[in-house]
Amino acid sequence: MKPGTLFFDGACGMCTRSKDLLLRFDRTGKIRTEPLQGHGVAERLGVAQDRLLDAVRWIDSTGTVYAGAEAVNAALSTALGTRIPLTVYRIPGIRFFEDVVYQWVVEHRYKFPGTTPHCEAYPAAC
């Protein structure tokens, strides 16, 4: 799997906890993370500033950008060193289900328990 960077909502405690969990699963050492609130992120990802926090983003070493549930699966595939999560996601019924669940989580993410948000712990990064 290609190395890449996961861009997450650094103001969200649940998102920060999820990012930390992904890093614990990273058996390949190919995962980097950055908050979506970082300087110049919208331009690097080619996303309008007002749409940036709509979804987690993954950019691999070829410059391909993934968003939402697909981004989570791409990052998990890289962390585990197997294409299985991304391959399973691409099955039509599973894609639909994961996308629906992901969207619901995004809309309620600030209500979930988490940890100290990244931007609170590292304000200079945001």
Q: Which tens digit of pLDDT belongs to each residue from 68-95?
A: 999 999 999 999 999 999 999 999 999 9
Q: Encode the chain (126 residues) as per-residue pLDDT tens digits.
A: 789 999 999 999 999 999 999 999 999 999 999 999 999 999 999 999 999 999 999 999 999 999 999 999 999 999 999 999 999 999 999 999 999 999 999 999 999 999 999 999 999 999
Look up residue 41 and give its two tokens.
């992120």
DSSP alpha helices (H): ranges in the chain? Answer: 13-25, 41-45, 68-80, 84-89, 92-108, 118-121
Which amino acid is present at 9?
D
Its pTM stands at: 0.93
What share of the chain in percent tops pLDDT 90? 98
